[in-house]
Structure 1
Amino acid sequence: MNTTDFDRFFLNDSETGIQSFNHIVLEAQHLLSNFYKSNTNAFNGSAPKEIEKEIQKLSLTSKDGDNPITVLEDVLKKIVNNSIHVSHQTSMGHLHCPPLIPAIAAELIIGALNQSMDSWDQSSTATYLEERLIKWVSEKLTLPPMSDGTFTSGGTQSNYMGLLLARDWFCDKRWNWNVKIQGLPTEFHKLRILCSESAHFTVKKSAFQLGLGEQAVVTVPTDSNKKINTAKLTEEIERLKTGGLIPMCVVATAGTTDFGSIDPIPEIAEIAENHGLWLHVDAAYGGALMLSQKHFHKLAGIEQADSITIDFHKQFYQPISCGAFFVKNKESFRYLAHHADYLNPENDEEDGLVHLVSKSVQTTRRFDALKLFMSLRIVGEKNFANMIDYTLHLASQAAGVMEHNEDIEVCNRNPEINAIVFRYRGGIIEKLNELNMFIYKKILQTGTALIAKTKVKGQVFLKFTLLNPRTTIVDIEDVLHSISQFAAEYENRGITQ
């Protein structure tokens, strides 16, 4: 077989490769354009079992290669048409944003170049662009000059890195113990991490992955606004010390998943400093407020954190996945740096080569910084700020509308960011959980919208997460009207039965 037979499968300098690339990309572009043009609901797909059957029938491979058009038709019918329309105005369930067009275009470039961010000789210019964007975000967060960071896959990885560095820093400081070389010290089972009861589940997940166990995480009660109670935090630290346990880290949350609540970071920072603890701020959700003119003050104190989580695939409107992790002092990355002769030898640094793997728990890593760069340039900071501020204003509007509806109970009447937790109560007080689960399922099944469900004190509640700046108060009123109709359907069903 002649090697030119493979030209049509790769983007290369041959006419065959370029024609093949243009053909399949153009067809995929038409497919997606038609999908978005014809979809008027947040979800038009089949029921879960039907989707599963369709995927089971789908051919996964072919002997000699199928025609791209045939494959794309399968993708449209079986996959795209059964997908959630995340850019729809009524897709308001999760922290799942509509992606920006410049970022979608960047994804194509990223895929074609296929650079890996671990070593300079796999990424070249990408290394320097990522470093510049890390510095730009650090300045936006008003972090000190010694700060640094790295792009990550998102909040889970970033929170893990924060607690990893906290553990190793604390062991080094308290016992002069090098965890990287020596493993965990004998008293590791006494180490404790403090966070609010509303903190992200990845705090506990990271703790057990780091060998500390979930028992190492001590949750502190929140106040009526779902923010950590700092008086209780201080009490808990003192209680742990008195009991012979060893607090090592406090995690503050800047935007809880359900309520969007932001812990009082300045107070927590003072408590952490007084007790010699590492402070990690999980701003995966709320970090985008750094671009807001009206709400940046809500992140006050974040510059005092030892480490910070930011997600760009939330309110920076980047395609999944795209996040970042920051440290106040770049020397903290020494706790995870490792040199390999074939990848990032130490002498390369003497020659001025930058290998980003030295500050990441990932080796192979995508050039996600390009998405953020193209978005910032094409959309502009002012438009970013306006979009973020609009969604916060919309959340306040929506909460006001819901508050005036006697059939709806709103948990957070003054949403801090753009999440609203509520439930329909109507006249069936004894079956509220069942009623709200019925509403949730009907909303999804009918494609009316995409909303989320959660639990508050063991009770089922519904949630709007209003990330989309194209959503209007009329859209929300329409969804609320549908909720009322489904509630009536539930009540009537009970009567007819």
Structure 2
Amino acid sequence: MDSWDQAPAASALEALLTATLAAEVHGGPEGAADALITTGGTESNQLALLLAREQAAAHGHALHVLVGANAHHSLGRAAWLLGLPEPVTVPAPAGVLDPAALDEALTELPGPPGGFLVAATAGTTDAGLVDPLTDIADLCAAHGARLHVDAAYGAGLLFSDVHRAKLHGLDRADSVTLDLHKLGWQPAAAGVLTVRATADLDVLGHRADYLNADDDTEAGLPDLLGRSLRTTRRPDALKIAVTLKALGRAGLGALVDQVCDRAREFADLVAAHPGFELHDKPAISTVLFRPAGADDDHIAYVRRKLLTDGTAVLGRAQLDGRRWLKATLLNPHTRPEDLVALLTLVEGTSPR
């Protein structure tokens, strides 16, 4: 895909998909919101900062970005790539952005409110936690700040009637990052950036006569050049659309519910086992745990041992000043006996 004449069917399908996903995230009247297909969460976050920078510049403001201490690394990197000041880091003492600290930071920051972008997270990389989105949206509204939510992991909860409420307030964000290779079960690349106001995307407009000639666009042919920072790209919307069409909301929601249930079951197994310590109940499908009495070096050893033996791939997280093993349940075919087997593997390499 780089121009409509080379990909008419893919262009039409992408337009339908992006409109559908934007409405799913933001609600509102038809056509009010829009979305772009990206390579993943990193590109979506970078685009979100770019749109915010350009909107602030249009009003004569420099952009200041505020992120939680729990934010994904791509936000700070995007600020660097875009020539923005280093983001202000707001404390996240319980693993989620602290609204009181955010209010203080917004109050003390110099410059006009229109130059502030708050980046919240729905599904943190370490523990899969969701920031208090409604409280954060209220603060952004009170301070006149723009709100971006990195929901690369957590956005899939929108498909579930059981878990959707965890994202209450997401619709109020000005932009939202989705990455459907997580709770959407897509091969990469399957990123999406949604915007609550379609006009926000106008700044991406670009002209090249050999791709979006005036006579073609005036005749009503779609203009793809303002739909991505890339030119030639794969029709990644196709696989997402096929999945949505085949499974529907109920089917995808059932998969989300299954992996969240498995995570809860695994957390219960850990909590009931005297040889293990559970960090907390899972917010989505990530469980942090560690062998009781083990130090951080042994936690690292356990993870590498299982990896090099080819028996299990566990992540790691650093929270509360300690290192944790991280199990992120994303396979809906995972069975309870698989969870028992995983815990047994970890126990076999743990201090006795």
Above 0.5 in TM-score?
yes
Query: What is the CA–CA distance in structure 2 between the aligned matches of 1:148 and 1:481, rounded to whole Å?
Result: 47
Q: Does 1:267 align with 2:129?
A: no
Decide whether the 8 Å contact of 2:178 with 2:192 is kept in 1. yes
The counterpart of 1:141, out of the listed 12, 20, 25, is 25
Partner of 1:471: 334
Q: Given residue 238 of structure 1, which amino acid in structure 2 is its aligned partner? A: T
How many angstroms apart in 2 are the aligned matches of 1:246 and 1:150? 24
Aligned to 2:234: 366
- Matched residue of 2:273: which SS? coil
Look up the SS of the partner of 2:263 in the other structure: helix
Provide the secondary structure at the position in 2 that maps to 1:241: coil
State the shift of 1:472 in Å. Answer: 1.9
C-alpha distance in 1, partners of 2:79/2:202? 20
The secondary structure found in structure 2 opposite 1:342 is: helix
Contact 2:23 2:33 in 1 (8 A): no
Q: Is the 8 A contact 1:170 1:278 kept in 2?
A: no
Q: Would the alpha carbon gap of residues 291 and 245 (structure 1) be closer, same or farther in structure 2, given more than 3 Å must change?
A: closer
* 1:72-125 C-alpha deviation (Å, 9 max, x unpaired): xxxxxxxxxxxxxxxxxxxxxxxxxxxxxxxxxxxxxxxxxxxx1x21012101
Distance apart, 1:396 and its partner CA: 1.3
SS for the counterpart of 1:237 is helix
Shift of 1:355: 1.7
Matches within 5 A, 1:4-19: none
**2: distance between equivalents of 1:321 and 1:352?**
29
Paired with 1:346 and 1:421, the residues of 2 have a C-alpha distance of 55
CA distance in 2, matches of 1:487, 1:371: 42
1:393 to 252, 261, 264: 261
Query: What residue number does 2:6 align with?
Result: 122
Match of 1:194 in 2: 66
Aligned residue number for residue 56 of structure 1: none
TM-superposition CA deviations, 1:244-297 (whole Å, max 9, x none)? 998510011111111111111121112112222111111110111111010111
Opposite residue 232 of structure 1, the aligned amino acid is A
CA contact (8 A) 2:40 2:191 kept: yes
Gap change, CA 1:141 and 1:155, over 3 Å in 2: same
Paired residues of 1:281 and 1:307 also in contact (CA < 8 A): yes
Q: Give how far 1:399 is off.
A: 1.0
Equivalent-residue separation in structure 2 for 1:355 and 1:171 (angstroms): 25
Contact 1:336 1:358 survives alignment (8 Å): yes
Distance 1:119 1:321 in 2: 20
Equivalent residue number for residue 177 of structure 2 = 309
Give 3-state SS (helix, strand or coil) of 2:317's partner: strand
- What is the letter of the counterpart of residue 75 of structure 2? V
* Contact 1:408–1:424, Cα closer than 8 Å, also in 2: yes
1:348: how far off? 2.3
**d(CA) in 1 for partners of 2:257 and 2:216?**
45
User: Residue 241 of structure 1 aligns with which residue?
Assistant: 110
Alpha-carbon distance, 1:467 to partner: 0.6
1:25 alignment counterpart: none
Structure 1 residue 223: Cα displacement: 4.0
Q: Which amino acid aligns with 2:23?
A: E
User: Where does structure 1 differ by over 4 angstroms across 4 or more consecutive aligned residues?
Assistant: 244-247
SS at match of 1:195: strand
**Equivalenced residues, count:** 350
Q: Secondary structure of 1:487's partner?
A: coil
Aligned to 1:282: 150
Identity %: 36
CA distance in 2: counterparts of 1:330 and 1:316, whole angstroms: 24
| TM-score, normalization by structure 1 | 0.68
* Unaligned runs of at least 5 residues, structure 1: 1-115, 176-187, 492-497
Given that 1:309 and 1:325 are in contact with CA atoms closer than 8 Å, whether structure 2 keeps it comes out as yes
1:206 to 78, 90, 115: 78
Bigger-Rg structure (1/2)? 1
Task: Describe the SS at the equivalent of 2:138.
Answer: helix
Contiguous gaps of at least 5 residues in structure 2: none
| Residues in 1 aligned to 2:192 and 2:12: alpha-carbon distance in whole angstroms | 16
